[in-house]
A and B are shown apart, each in its own frame.
Chain A
Amino acid sequence: MAGWMGRVVRVDLSSGEIRDEPFDQDVWRRFLGGRGFGAKVLWDELRPGVDPLSPENRLIFAVGPLTGTTAATSGRGSVSTKSPLTGTITDANTGGKFGVIFKKAGLDALIIQGKAPKPVYLLVSDEGIQIKDASDLWGKNTDETTDLLLEREGSRASVACIGPAGENLVRYAAIINEKHRAFARGGVGAVMGSKNLKAVVARGLRTVEIADKERMKFVTYEANKWLRAHPITSKGLPEFGTSVLVNIMNEAGIFPSYNFRQNMFEFAEEVSGEAITEKILVRKDGCWGCIIQCARRTRIPGDEGEGPEYETNWALGPNCGIHDLEIITRANYLCNRLGIDTMSAGGTISCAMEMTELGYYDAGIRFGEGDKLLEYLKKIAYREGIGDELAEGSLRFATKHGHPELSMTVKGQELAAYDPRGAQGQGLAYATTNRGGCHLRGGYLIGRELLGVPRMIDRFSAVGKGSHTAILQNLGAALDSLVVCRFASFALNEIVWGRLLTAVTGVKYDPEDVLEAGDRIFNIERMFNVREGFSRKDDTLPRRLLEEPAPMGPTKGRVVELDRMLDEFYEFRGWDSNGVPKPETLRRLGLEECLNG
C-alpha cells in the first residue's frame, strides 16, 4: 500500500502483550495519520473521565502518509493522548528524525496502554518490537538516556525519551527526541512516565512506497520552488531561526512580557534572532530532509545545544522579565535534559513571579531574576519544595493561592508568544483550541494578521475572523496529520498538499478533501472534549486579555472582542451556541460514531 506502511501495533505494558491491529484503510484515508489517527483512537477507546495518568490512558505514536518521502518538511512525528495538564485531548508534534526512522521501522502507529511493573523502554525496529528493561535508565536525564540507548541499540537508531520531569509526573513534561527536539506540549511526557515507559527507540531501513513517482517528482519540484522563493522560508527562518519573529512581534505591540502585563518588551533586541545569530549561533540546522533549516545549533560558555526557538526564548525570557540570552539558552538546554515543555514552564514561573510581585503569595521569585530560573526548573522537574506546586501548571498553582486570573492559560495550558489584544483572530484561535492554549492548534492567525500569509488582513478587526479561524484550524489539523511542519505552509497551500498526497498514496485528494479531513479531525477532537464536559464556557481567555486594555505601542487600548467572534465561529463550523457540533455537521463529516457520544 502506497504512502502508509499498513501496520499498527498495540503494546499493553501491563500484560506485556504486543499485537498487530487490523489496518483499516478507510480510517487512514479519512484521518490521514498522526494527530488525526490519534484522535480517532482516543475517541473510540477512552471512556469519559479517565485519569490521564492512569494505565487506561493511551499514548499513540503515529506518522503520516508523507512521512519519510521527498515531500517538503515531512520528517516529523506525532504523539496523541489525553492531557494531564488540561483534561482535553492533546497531541504533540516533533521535528528531527524520529518520525522518519519510526516509519522506516515499518509502522504507521504504535498504541501504548497499561503500565509496566518496572521501568521499560520499547524497541521498535524493522526486525520486531520488544519491551526491554530500563531500570538502569530511570532517573537519568534525556542526554544520558539517549547516549546509553544509542550505545545499546546502535547509532542509527533514534531515541525519544523522558527525563526526570516525566518520571515525576510534571503535568507539562515533554518527550525529547535526539536530545534537542521535543514532543513538547500537554504533558505527554508525564503520560509516558505514568506508564513506567522511559523511552521509545526506533530503528529501521524500510522505504515508503510512492504510488506515482513521476507525479511526486514534479509536485515536489513545484513545492520546493515556492519554499525557495518565499521570503519567510528562504530568508527569514534560515537566516535568523524562528526568533526572527521577536522584533516583528514587538514592533507590532503583540510581544507579551512580564506574564502579559505588557504587550511589548523593552529589551527585545537583546533576545532577537539577530542577537542569537551574533552572540551564540554555531551553525544552522534542520530536520530530516528539510530545506528550510530553521534550527539553531548554539553555544554558550561551558555548554552547547540547540535553541532557543522563538516560543522558548520568549517563555523563559521576556515573559519572565529576563533578557540575558545566555541564561535563557542555558534554561532551554536544561528543560530539554529534564524533559519539560519550555512554554508551560516559562508560563508557570512567570505566573509565580507575578503572584510574588503583587504580594498574593511569596513564591520566592520575581520578574527578571534569571539567576533563580535554573534552580526553579530543577525544583519543578524533581517536584522539590515550591517546585511541587509549580509542576502542576500555572492554573492549578494560581487557583490554589486564590488568583486564577493570573494564570495566562486557556483550558489550563499556558499561552504562546503573541498578545491577542493586537491580533483579534489569534485571540479567537487561542480560545478555541482543542488542546488548550496554543498558537498552532487554534489556527495560526498571526500568519494572516501580522505576516501577510497569504494576504494581510486587518488584525484589529473582529469581523470575519470566526470563518478564517475555522479554516486555518482545519488546514492545521490536516497538516499535523500528514505529518508535516507548519512552517512549510508559509509558502505552500492546500492545493500543493493535496497534489503531494495524491502522488504518494494514489488516492485522489482534492485540496478541499485535505481541508475536509482537517475539519473531520478538528470535530472529532471537539467531540472528545465535549464528552469530557468542555463547552462554550471553556472557549475563553484569561481575564486580562478580555478586560485590561493593552498598555503600550500600536496595540495600546485594545482588548479581545471574543464573544462577537465566537458566535460567527460556531455558526461557520455548524456547532450550536454552546459550542457542540450539530448532528448534521457530524453526518456531513462522516462522524456517525460521534452521534451518540
Chain B
Amino acid sequence: MASEKYRELMEEMKRIGRIVFQAGLNNSHSGNMSVRVGRRILITRRGSMLGFLKDEDIIETGLEQDDSGISLASTEVAVHRAIYKGTSALAIIHSHPITAIALSIVQDEIVPIDVEGSYYIRRVPVIEFEFGTGSKEMEEVLPKYLKNYRIVMVKGHGAFAIGDFLEEALHYTHVLENIAQITWRVRAMGIDTRQFEREYFHKW
C-alpha cells in the first residue's frame, strides 16, 4: 500500500479508476494506471478492479529501483517506468476501449473526423507488438512514440495515454474512444470516412 502522505493521490486514483470502468474503457479487471511523484510511482495492483480500488490496491514503488511492493504491482509496471523515464509524464492510464481496439486491428493510425476529436487529438499511431503485454519491446518502443503523442494504441490490445494528471490521461482516452465510435458509426451507414479526414492530420 502507498504511504499515507500520498492520500490525496490515492483518492484521485480511486476516482479516476471508477470513471474509467463506468465509461466502459476497461472491463472488470483489465487495464492499469499510475502516477509519478518525484522519483516514486503509485501504480494499481496486479489484478485489481479499477472501478473499485481500495487502499491496498494502490502500490508504491521506486521509479528506478524495485522494492517489496514490486511483487504486487501491475504486470505493466516496467512499461510504466520506461514511459516515465522517457517522457515528462506524471500520469499514465492503460485502458481497453473496445471500439478503438477494433479500429486498431484494421488500420495503422486513427485520425479524427469529428470536431471535438480534431481539437484534442489529431492523430493516434497504432503500434504492433509480437507480445502485446508487458514485453521488453513495449518498454523500448512505447516511450519513443509517447515523446511525440499523448496517446497511442497497441494494435488489438489497448491504449496508453499520458498526461500531467490522471484526469488529462483520462480525457485523451475518452476522446480517442469517441473518435473511434463516431468513425465506426459513420462507416456503419455505408460511408467511407476517409473523405472526412484532414490530409494534414496524417502528417501531424
A interface, CB within 8 angstroms of B: 215, 218, 222, 225-226, 229, 448, 454-455, 457-458, 461, 463-464, 466-468, 471, 474, 495, 498-499, 510-513, 515, 567-569, 571-572
Contact = CB atoms under 8 A, between A and B. Distances in A.
B55 interface: no
11 contacts: A218-B200, A225-B119, A226-B119, A458-B8, A463-B9, A464-B35, A464-B37, A510-B148, A568-B38, A571-B38, A571-B39
A512 B88 contact: yes
B148 A467 contact: no
Contacts of A467: 36-38, 90
Interface string B140-169: 000000011110000000000000110110
A425 to B, nearest CB: 12
A225 B37 CA distance: 34
Contacts of B147: 510-513
Interface string B15-47: 000000000000000000001111100000000
A568 B164 contact: no
Nearest to A212: B203
A159 B88 CA distance: 40
Given A499-B204, A512-B147, A513-B147, A466 B6 contact: no
A457 B90 contact: no
Contact of A515 (B88, B149, B168): B88
B92 to A, nearest CB: 13
Nearest to B121: A495
A238 B122 CA distance: 27
Given A455-B167, A512-B87, A515-B88, 11 more contacts: A455-B164, A461-B8, A463-B6, A463-B7, A471-B88, A495-B149, A495-B150, A511-B148, A512-B86, A512-B148, A572-B39
Contacts of A218: 200, 203
Nearest to B86: A512
Contacts of B88: 471, 474, 512, 515
A323 B149 CA distance: 47
A215 B203 CA distance: 9
Contacts of A510: 147-148
B90 A471 contact: yes
Contacts of A229: 119
Contacts of A513: 147
Interface of B: 5-9, 35-39, 86-88, 90, 119, 122, 147-150, 164-165, 167-168, 171, 200, 203-204
Contacts of B204: 499
A511 B86 CA distance: 12
Nearest to A569: B38
Contacts of A222: 122
A218 B148 CA distance: 17
B94 to A, nearest CB: 19
Contacts of B150: 495
A454 B148 contact: no
Contacts of A498: 148
A406 B171 CA distance: 44
Nearest to A471: B88
Contacts of B5: 463
Contacts of A466: 37-38
B119 A455 contact: no
Given A225-B119, A512-B147, A468 B90 contact: yes
Which of the listed residues B36, B88, B165, B171 has the most CB atoms from chain A within 10 Å of its own CB? B88
A572 B200 CA distance: 36
Which 6 A-B residue pairs are closest in the complex by CB-CB distance? A571-B38, A512-B147, A218-B200, A568-B38, A510-B148, A510-B147
A467 B163 CA distance: 12
A499 B149 CA distance: 11
A474 B171 CA distance: 23
A561 to B, nearest CB: 11
Contacts of A568: 37-38
A474 B200 CA distance: 29
Nearest to B166: A455
Contacts of A511: 147-148
Nearest to B87: A512
Nearest to A218: B200
Contacts of A468: 90, 164
Nearest to B168: A455
A477 B7 CA distance: 32
